[in-house]
Structures are given as C-alpha cells and as structure tokens.
Structure 1
Amino acid sequence: MSRVVLAMSGGVDSSVAAYLLQQAGHEVIGLFMRHGEHSPQTACSVEAAPGQTAGKTQPAALPILKPGHKQGCCSASDAEDARRMADRLDISFYAVDFQQEFGRIMDYFVEEYLQARTPNPCVMCNNWLKFGKLWDYARGIGAEMIATGHYARIEEDEDGELGLFRGLDQDKDQSYVLAGIDRELFPRLRFPVGNYRKTEIRRIAAEIGMRVADKKDSQEICFVPDGNYANFVRRRQGELDTAGDFVSVEGEVLGQHAGIERFTIGQRKGLGIAFGEPRYVVRIDADSKQVVLGRKDDLACTSLTASNTNWLIDLPAAPGDPDCKIECDVKIRYLSVPVPATVQILPENRMSVEMAEPKHGVAPGQAVVCYRGDQVLGGGWIDN
C-alpha cells in the first residue's frame, strides 16, 4: 500500500479518483489547492468536517486554512464538495494555501496578453504548480505518489519506458495540458480515471452515493470564472495603454480598438467593428498596438516554431542533428484536430514544425503537442 496525495477539486473526476485509489488499497490524502484572488463573488472557506481536525492525520509542514479563510478561484461549493467527498470516503483532507505560488500563473497570464500572445494557464499550472509544488508537498509528508482526476494514462510504451498517453475517453482526453510535466515524475504519478469513460465515472459516483455524480464540468479558466479575460488583465495590471488601430492585411486602417488584451488569433466575434463579411484576427502587434484583420484564408498556416520544449521520450539524435526529427501528429490548441507533421528538434530547447495540411488560428503563446498514436511525445510553446 502506498501513500498517495490526490489533488481534489470538488468535482466528480477527482472524487471518483479518490475512491478508485482507495479500492486499490492505497492510503489516500485529499488535497484542496487553494489559489487565486480574493473575490466576494467566488469566495469560499474550507473547514474541517464535523468531528474532525482537517483530516485523520495532520502533517505539521502543511499550512492548513482556518475556517472562514477566503478562496478565490473556486466556488464555495467546490471546497465544500471536496471536503464532503473526503469525509464520505473517510480519507484525510487538507486545504493548502497555494495563493502565492499561483500568483505566478496569473502574472504569466497577464504578461502574455500584453505581449500579444495567447496564454494557456492550464498547461503552465500543470507544468509548474500541480505537478511541481504538489509533489514537493507530497514528499514533505512522506507520500510515495501523487494523483489527479485528469483523463490521461501513464503506461509503458513500445520500448518498455513509462510514457504519457491519451485518456481512454477521447472526448475528455486531457493529455494536451499535461505535455509539459517532467517525465521523471511518471513512476510517482497516477491518473485513476484515465482508463474510464466519463459516463462510467458518473455511474460509479452515483452508485456509491456521491453528491457530485451529476455536477457539471468546469468550462472556464479557474481564476476568470466569468470568462472576461480582458477585465481580469486590467484589474490585475491597473491602467493600460494598449488601445490602437484595426488594420487590414494590406495595412489599411479600418478603425480603432480598446486594447490588444481583448483579442486572440482566430477571433471573429466581439471585435466591436462590423464588415460586410466575416473578418478574423490574423496578427497582433504589441509594439504598434495594431490588430490585423483578414479573411479566414489569411489564418492558414503550415509551419511554426516553438521554444521551451519538453520531451517525454528519448530523442533519436542530439538536438540540431539533421536526424533529430520526428514524424508525428501535432495539436496546436486543446480542442484542435491533430494533423500529421515533421518536427525538427533544434538546440536550446526549440523545434520547428512542418504540417502536412494548413491549420487555422495558430497562436503564439499556445502549446504545440506532439503525438504518436495515443502517446504524447512532448511539446513546446508556439513562438511564430
């Protein structure tokens, strides 16, 4: 039996993950990761269940939230659901303050928009916080493993090495947002729901009487629950001087906009300017503050470069060697359809990608993730 620290969000996936780990004989410790801004609209407090002191065992190293301590990026019911599910399974439960660490994720989010890039905070959070700091806390209390409710799998690949694979439920697969985690963590990592379909997870939850069995999935970025990214950027950054011109791909000024943080590559709706035909954001220039608008064909892209790469397999040659290339499928956004590509792996954690067919909406700042079948080979951050 291993001691496993499980990140619990109050949703059905992590709640059933706790049950599955428990059924497998593990000692499960539920961890609610408190992070985000103080917000009256989304505040929540976490306290011990009646008759408990925040869990059956209380590691001194963990900062436990006091009753009434505000939580910013979850609803009040999320924290309560996580605690109730832990209590339902009779497992230890802790609420740990990650607000300071999570500030780094929110700062990254703001800085990327101000640099005319489209951030992906979920990937960044998984890379650094959820599978970095979480493991640090787990080791601090003597745990051998960490786990989450992601739809992904850790399995042996064809070479007998542990690898990251898509979740069995292709419609819920979350492997894209996990491509940046350290492969050295694989032996210590578990995704209990990865071999199930979502319908099965909800059925299990209902069968064992979990109140979250029919709880809706989260759809928005956790610290921007209203989905208004521009307002969040302005609220966190303060006064901004980001207004500028809409221009055509030919350079003609078409109108004015209120700030580059309001736009992302491929955007069509909410431009605040009308044309006789659909226009899309095809480029954003942070220096000139210009938002370039064009037709859908202007978004077509067959090549890109990426940096800060992370590889989850052994490379075929040294980076920069002409033989250090991979034939694979790539995804350029979480919900995009993979396309065949040739990836040339370059020095200094960079790569170039040549896609076999055009993709629309390739956005600097997003992650490009490489697949071979269901296995995640690695990925990086799109530069251009």
Structure 2
Amino acid sequence: MARIVLAMSGGVDSSVAAHLLMDAGHEVIGVFMRHGEESAAVCRVDDTGKSTSLPVLAGAATSAGDGLRADHKQGCCTASDAADARRVAAKMGIPFYALDLTDDFRRIVDYFVDDYLDGRTPNPCVRCNQWIKFGRLFDYADDVDAEFVATGHYAQMQNVDGVNQLHRGLDSSKDQSYALFGIRPDRLDRMMLPVGGFEKTRIREIAEGLKMGVAGKKDSQEICFVTQGHHSDFVRARAPQRSADTGGEIVTVDGKVVGTHQGYEAFTVGQRKKLGVAMGEPYFVVRIEPKTRQVVIGKKEHLSKPGLVADEANWLVPIDQLPQRVSVQIRYNGSPKPGTLTVVPRDPNRFEVHFDEPELAVAPGQAAVVYDETRVLGGGWIT
C-alpha cells in the first residue's frame, strides 16, 4: 500500500480516481488547488448550506463564494467544485486539503497575457499540468511523505521492460495525454493515472453506483481564470498599458487592407468567425504580426504548412532513442499526424517536424506533442 496525493477537482474523474486508488488498498490524501482568482474561493459546505473555510496547506486564508462563473460557463476550481470534492472526500473517509497556489497561478496568468500580446496562442491548461499539477504538487507530496501523485487525467502509465511510459488514454474521445507532455521525465515513476484505462461512460457508471453526486457533472472546458467575456477582455484588464495600442489593420496575405481591428490579442491563427470583415467567402486568420499590429487573413489553403519548429522541448525518453518517424499533435482537440522528426543539432531544446501532408493552422504558442503510436515521447512549443 502506498500513500498517494490525489488532485481532486470536484469532477467525476478525480472522484472515481479516489475510489479506484482506495479500492486498490492505497492511502489517499485529497487536495484541491486554489488559484486565487475571484471565481476560485474554496469553502466547506455543511448540511445546512453554511460555508466555512477548508484547511489550506500553504497558510493563506480562503474566502467563501457561490462558486458560479460570471458567464455560467463550465470551468474548474470554483467554490462549488471545492465543495463537491470535499463531499466526495468526506463520503470516502479520506483527508482533504486546499493548496494555496495563488503565486503559481499568477505565473500562468502572466504567461497567458504575455503570449496573446506577443501574437501567440497560449495553452494555460498544458502549462498548469507542467508547472502545478505535476510540478508543485510533487512538493506537497514530499511534505507529507507520499510516494505518488495522481490525477483524473485520461492518459495511461505503462511499465514496459521496467520503464514507466506515458501513453494515450483508452478512451480516444477523452484522451488528455497531449496536456501532459511537459512533465519532468524523472517524475514518471511517481505518476498514477487511475481512470486512463477506462471509457468515460464506465467512469460515470462507477460514480453513479457509488452515489457520489457528481456522476452527471459536465467536464470542465473553459479557462478557469477567465470568468467572463472574451479572453481579450481579460488580457486588456490584466495588462492595460501594454494592450492600450494593439489596434491596427486587417490585411490579406497579398497585403491588401480590408478592415481594421481594436486589438490583435482578440485573434488566433485559424480563426474564421468574428473577423470583422465581409469577404464573400470563408477567410481565416493566417498570422498575427504584433510589431505592425496587423492581422493577416487568407483562404483555407493559406493556412497550410508543411511543417513546424518548436522550442522548450521536454523529452520523456533519451534523445538518442527518439525515432525519426513519429506522429505529432498540434492542438488539444486534434489528432496526431504522421511526419518526420529532427532534433536541431547542438540544441536538444528545439526540434523540427516535416508532416507527410501539409497541416492546417499551425499556431505559434501551441504545444506540439510527439508520439510513437500511443506513447508520448515529449514535445515543445511551436515558434
């Protein structure tokens, strides 16, 4: 039996993960990660509906709140999520704590804002896994002498010839291995992903059978700290001086000015809707140029790219064991596409991919995750 720190979000996946770990005889310590934004108040709700604070490991006080996002979108880390996680932990008889990660989340928010103002498309959920869920969470595990860290992600750990490998989840429609490529390779031996070997429907059935009260809860799909409006509104509110003069021209790939915009941070590569111009046929954002403040649009064929270059590489296997033929996924809801991998000579932090067939909307700032069939080899950030 091992002591395991489990990230509990209040959703069905982490709740069932707790059951699976306990059913296997492990000692589970549940934790809820508090990020300090207005929508993330952490509370305990008793049978009368009264809210009180949860124990916070980092020593900062929590505040009560109703836990509802201002835009009614399904996010994560709200007070109601904390209450759900607390109720599940209490039902299962496991200790449950809130982790005050306000400073760590501030780093993610700063990255999010900076990337949009640099004309890139950030992925804060991947960074959260890299820096917090499988980063800082290990520090807390060490503090309580826990051997493993577990989450409810749909991915799988497989031991092959004595080597722990990260693989895609069994349920391909819910696979989250893309978001986990940034984990330090030396931590693979301490990772547990209990739900990755199940179909999502089965996880909900287990939760329903255990009467957890979260079996029908929707999956979180929104950025947890953007609680209302468009992401560009959040960027402007967090960086008013830097975003004060980001308006400019909308131009076609051949340089024709066809309109203006109020701020390039409102656009992402591949975007088709809400361009603010009528072209008579579908046009897409092809690239964003912060220096000139231009948003360049074009037809679908103009989004096509033969390959990509990525930096900040994180490899989960020794570089000399990387195959040349791989598949690469360039967006969270995408699918891996076959191609040829080349690690840049003398710089293992950079790599190039040449796709077998041109890929659409290769967006700077997004993660490029490299696979060998179902195994995650690592990845980096598209430049």
Normalised by the length of structure 2, the TM-score is: 0.91
- The structural deviation recorded for 1:380 is 0.5
Query: Where do 1:119-158 residues align within 5 Å?
Result: 119-157=122-160
Contact 1:163/1:183, CA 8 A, preserved across alignment = no
Instruction: Tell which deviates more after alignment, 286-295 or 67-76.
Output: 67-76
> What CA distance in whole angstroms lies between the structure 2 residues aligned with 1:352 and 1:283?
19
Paired amino acid for 2:43: V
Q: What is the count of residue pairs matched by the alignment?
A: 368
- The structural deviation recorded for 1:303 is 1.2
- The structural deviation recorded for 1:161 is 1.6
**For residue 68 of structure 1, what is the aligned residue in structure 2?**
64
SS at match of 1:195: coil
SS at match of 2:213: coil
| Counterpart pick for 2:289 among 285, 289, 292 | 285
Contact 2:57/2:99, CA 8 A, preserved across alignment = no
Contact 1:61/1:140, CA 8 A, preserved across alignment = no
Query: Where do 1:29-40 residues align within 5 Å?
Result: 29-38=29-38
Query: Where do 1:264-279 residues align within 5 Å?
Result: 264-279=268-283
Paired amino acid for 2:78: S
> What CA distance in whole angstroms lies between the structure 1 residues aligned with 2:237 and 2:339?
40
Deviations 1:239-270 (A, max 9, x none): 42100100111111111101010000000001
- The structural deviation recorded for 1:174 is 0.1
Deviations 1:303-357 (A, max 9, x none): 110001011112227xxxxxx7621111111111221111101233100110000
SS at match of 2:370: strand
- C-alpha spacing 1:331/1:32, structure 2 compared with 1 (3 Å): same
Q: Give structure 2 stretches of 5+ with no counterpart.
A: 70-75
> What CA distance in whole angstroms lies between the structure 1 residues aligned with 2:179 and 2:5?
20
- The structural deviation recorded for 1:36 is 4.1
Instruction: Tell which deviates more after alignment, 363-372 or 344-353.
Output: 344-353
Percent identity, aligned pairs only? 52
| Counterpart pick for 1:81 among 74, 80, 84 | 84
| Counterpart pick for 2:196 among 194, 197, 204 | 194
> What CA distance in whole angstroms lies between the structure 1 residues aligned with 2:104 and 2:66?
16
> What CA distance in whole angstroms lies between the structure 2 residues aligned with 1:226 and 1:128?
25
Paired amino acid for 2:256: E
- The structural deviation recorded for 1:74 is 3.0
**For residue 179 of structure 1, what is the aligned residue in structure 2?**
181
**For residue 3 of structure 1, what is the aligned residue in structure 2?**
3
- The structural deviation recorded for 1:223 is 1.2
Deviations 1:218-254 (A, max 9, x none): 1111112446110110111124210010011111111
Deviations 1:186-211 (A, max 9, x none): 11110010111100000000001110
| Counterpart pick for 2:207 among 202, 205, 208 | 205
Contact 2:66/2:79, CA 8 A, preserved across alignment = no
Contact 1:156/1:163, CA 8 A, preserved across alignment = yes
> What CA distance in whole angstroms lies between the structure 1 residues aligned with 2:366 and 2:270?
12
| 1:221 aligned onto 2:219 | no
**For residue 316 of structure 2, what is the aligned residue in structure 1?**
312
**For residue 42 of structure 2, what is the aligned residue in structure 1?**
45
**For residue 17 of structure 1, what is the aligned residue in structure 2?**
17
